[in-house]
Amino acid sequence: PMTTPASTGTTDGTVPAADPDDTAPREAASRRRTFAVISHPDAGKSTLTEALALHGGAIGQAGIVQGKGGRRGVVSDWLEMEKARGISITSAALQFTYRDRVVNLLDTPGHADFSEDTYRVLTAVDSAVMLVDAAKGMERQTVKLFEVCRLRGLPIVTVVNKWDRPGREALELLDEFAEVTGMTPTPVLWPVGIGGDFRGLLDLRPGTAPDAAYIAFDEGSGGATRTTWTPLSLEEGLARDGEVLTTAQEEVELVLDSNGPHDEASFRAGRTTPVMFAAAVLNRGVEQLLDLLVDTAPPPADRPAQDGGVRSVGDAFSGQVFKVQAGMDAAHRDHVAFIRVSSGRFQRGETVLNARTGKPVGTKYAHRVFGGSRTGVEDAWPGDVVAIVNATGVRVGDTLYAGRKVAYPPIPTFAPEHFAVCRAKDLGRYKQFQRGITELHHEGVVQTLRSDLRGEPAPVLAAVGPMQFDVVQHRMAGEFGCEVLLEPLPYSIARRTTAEHAPLLDAVPGVEVLRSLDGDVFALFPDRWRLQRIERENPDVVLDALAADS
Ligand code: GDP
């Protein structure tokens, strides 16, 4: 469960002294927009990311996402194939300047089995773009990720993609969004032409000039380069597209009547979601999406700390580690910690402290990581992501800070639903085995559980999705020189319990109690029937659902 700030953290009731350069991080924060795209696989996230990068000038040409056939569902997707694609590598951040704003787009893994990684990325953003396939609507993974965004209170922009080909009706899609999310969809850029006949967008954004109310796409533009369009007045639009435009106007009227127009305060409060239509593959709507984000998505804000206080963005540097990854660079076995800056100015070379351990962390090797490339970073501001290479002793969820101490609430873990006993194929490699498993645990690749009954050499691995196990096998062999065997266990539910209740639960047939490396005690159940009966018969036994349990 997430902590909500109840009171301010200062014990003497005074406002902490502001840093002398207080205004610099505040100003930098106000110029930043940090977001992630959530979607079901195949909705077009990679394509959109690339299109955004193109418009932000981060890459010269679209179309480098290619040869992706058959990449789904294979382990190599996780790193090697992503590397080969040259973009969108494992939850890195893409940064570019658009207008006078700095846009940070954090990548999220597409596959449902890595939703825990996605969750962690969502702790590092200030808003999310929910990308929906026009023909498919709200798919399962989209709904799941939407719920995570809601849990984190993230404002959501909805983008209907693939309007260049036949799909469902716009009005019907909006109905579905409202029904599934409980948010009111408000139209901001409405399509002219049905799916497959995408002629342009009615611009309903506040402040749009009447002579530019219709963004009419120029025939034949878009694809590998920017889409071009002509801003038209509605009269000019009618002359060009006639009835097709009239239909769009009627639809807009209906939606506005029932849902109302886009309102920034309701959007930021999560009550409404602005909706627009696009065709990422043709770069249609992409520039408008960037404008929308820059104009209405929230900048980094002061952040609640674990002790109930609040860290102002203008305070000294602080940030939370949302991802740790080893083996990104095969040539130099390394350990990279990704930090989202929450306050102050990050300066390379400055020594910062880890709030959990109290130990200093060197930042000499600070990078910006995007795709296969790393560039050194001298400083970073609230909303930015920095990667610190060789940040030993740093784990996911850790807070790093300078100046006054701060610790952000821990990043909750997902409830694992898959469990397997893990053994080294060759017991002579036990040392490598231990080192690898511990590392993968701290990276958050899987959770590691142990019990006295099973003994040390065979920990139980717990995962949200089975592909996490494939990653373990792959990396244990490739990086740690230890092949492992995995034997699935028949459990599907985990509950957090206490050491005191462990013996009682352990005695129930079919139930097993294990301890995590972090000291938590978990009871594993084969099915919810078994769990419910135990809950009924032992109402006093602590059986807490894990965060983000659905
Ligand atoms: P991801 O799994 O969400 O990253 O989806 P991809 O970006 O890999 O896209 C999945 C497929 O949909 C690819 O074949 C894309 O070319 C295609 N696609 C993406 N955006 C569009 C679009 O706007 N229109 C059409 N027709 N296809 C698209």
DSSP H helices, 130-220, are 140-151, 170-181
Q: Which two tokens stand for residue 358?
A: 């109290």
Residue with the nearest Cα to atom 6 of ligand 1?
Answer: 44
User: Which residue from 37, 42, 47, 201 has its CB within 8 A of the most atoms of ligand 1, so it is best to mutate?
Assistant: 47
Tell which atom from ligand 1 comes closest to the C-alpha of 68: 8
The percentage of residues in the chain with a pLDDT greater than 70, rounded to a whole number, is 83
Tell which atom from ligand 1 comes closest to the C-alpha of 41: 2
Tell which atom from ligand 1 comes closest to the C-alpha of 131: 3
pTM of the model: 0.81
Using alpha carbons, select from 154, 106, 498 the residue that is nearest to residue 301. 154
d(CA 279, CA 282): 5
Residues 156/146, Cβ–Cβ less than 8 Å: yes
d(CA 36, CA 128): 5
> Would the pLDDT of 541 be above 60?
yes
DSSP H helices, 169-233, are 170-181
Residue with the nearest Cα to atom 16 of ligand 1?
Answer: 281
Tell which atom from ligand 1 comes closest to the C-alpha of 50: 7
Residues 15/309, Cβ–Cβ less than 8 Å: no
Most confident residue range from 252-261, 435-444, 495-504, 539-548: 252-261
Residue with the nearest Cα to atom 18 of ligand 1?
Answer: 44
Q: How are strands ordered across the β-sheet holding 32-39?
A: 93-98, 101-106, 32-39, 127-133, 156-161, 272-277, 184-192, 200-203, 214-217, 229-232
pLDDT reported for residue 378: 77
Query: Looking at 310-324, 375-389, 414-428, which range is the least confident one?
Result: 375-389
Residue with the nearest Cα to atom 17 of ligand 1?
Answer: 44
pLDDT reported for residue 112: 63
In sequence order, what E strands does 296-370 have? Answer: 303-304, 310-311, 318-326, 335-343, 346-347, 352-354, 360-361, 366-370
Q: Quick one: pLDDT band at residue 57, thresholds 50, 70, 90?
A: confident
Residue with the nearest Cα to atom 25 of ligand 1?
Answer: 162
Region 519-530: what's the mean pLDDT? 91
Residue with the nearest Cα to atom 2 of ligand 1?
Answer: 42
Region 59-69: what's the mean pLDDT? 38
Whole-number Å distance, alpha carbon 151 to ligand 1 midpoint, is 28
User: Which residue from 64, 281, 284 has its CB within 8 A of the most atoms of ligand 1, so it is best to mutate?
Assistant: 281
Angstrom distances, CA of residue 110 to CA of 142, 293, 410: 10, 22, 24
Q: Quick one: pLDDT band at residue 140, thresholds 50, 70, 90?
A: confident
Whole-number Å distance, alpha carbon 44 to ligand 1 midpoint, is 4
Whole-number Å distance, alpha carbon 281 to ligand 1 midpoint, is 7
Radius of gyration of the chain (CA): 25
> Would the pLDDT of 404 be above 70?
yes
107 known ligand binder: yes
* Partners of residue 152 on adjacent β-strands: none
Tell which atom from ligand 1 comes closest to the C-alpha of 47: 7
Whole-number Å distance, alpha carbon 46 to ligand 1 midpoint, is 7
> Would the pLDDT of 176 be above 90?
yes
Region 517-528: what's the mean pLDDT? 88
Residue with the nearest Cα to atom 11 of ligand 1?
Answer: 42
Region 308-320: what's the mean pLDDT? 95
pLDDT reported for residue 26: 94
109 known ligand binder: yes
pLDDT reported for residue 211: 87
The percentage of residues in the chain with a pLDDT greater than 90, rounded to a whole number, is 53
d(CA 51, CA 225): 9
DSSP string for 453-468 = TT-TTSPEEEESSTHH
Tell which atom from ligand 1 comes closest to the C-alpha of 278: 23
- Ligand 1 contacts (CB < 6 A) are 39, 41-47, 68, 110, 161-162, 164-165, 279-281
Tell which atom from ligand 1 comes closest to the C-alpha of 282: 23
Whole-number Å distance, alpha carbon 45 to ligand 1 midpoint, is 7
pLDDT reported for residue 3: 35
Whole-number Å distance, alpha carbon 400 to ligand 1 midpoint, is 38
pLDDT reported for residue 118: 82
Whole-number Å distance, alpha carbon 195 to ligand 1 midpoint, is 15
For residue 427, give the H/E element and its range. none
On average, the pLDDT of the chain sits at 83
Whole-number Å distance, alpha carbon 330 to ligand 1 midpoint, is 30
d(CA 37, CA 358): 34
Tens of pLDDT along 65-121? Answer: 333 333 232 222 334 434 443 333 344 678 888 999 999 998 777 666 667 788 889
Q: Which two tokens stand for residue 534?
A: 């135990």
Whole-number Å distance, alpha carbon 279 to ligand 1 midpoint, is 9
Tens of pLDDT along 236-259? Answer: 999 999 999 999 999 999 999 999
User: Which residue from 37, 38, 42 has its CB within 8 A of the most atoms of ligand 1, so it is best to mutate?
Assistant: 42
> Would the pLDDT of 386 be above 50?
yes
Whole-number Å distance, alpha carbon 280 to ligand 1 midpoint, is 7
Residues 375/368, Cβ–Cβ less than 8 Å: yes
Residues 296/267, Cβ–Cβ less than 8 Å: yes
527 known ligand binder: no
d(CA 380, CA 61): 27
Whole-number Å distance, alpha carbon 121 to ligand 1 midpoint, is 22
Residue with the nearest Cα to atom 14 of ligand 1?
Answer: 42
d(CA 529, CA 142): 28
d(CA 452, CA 187): 58
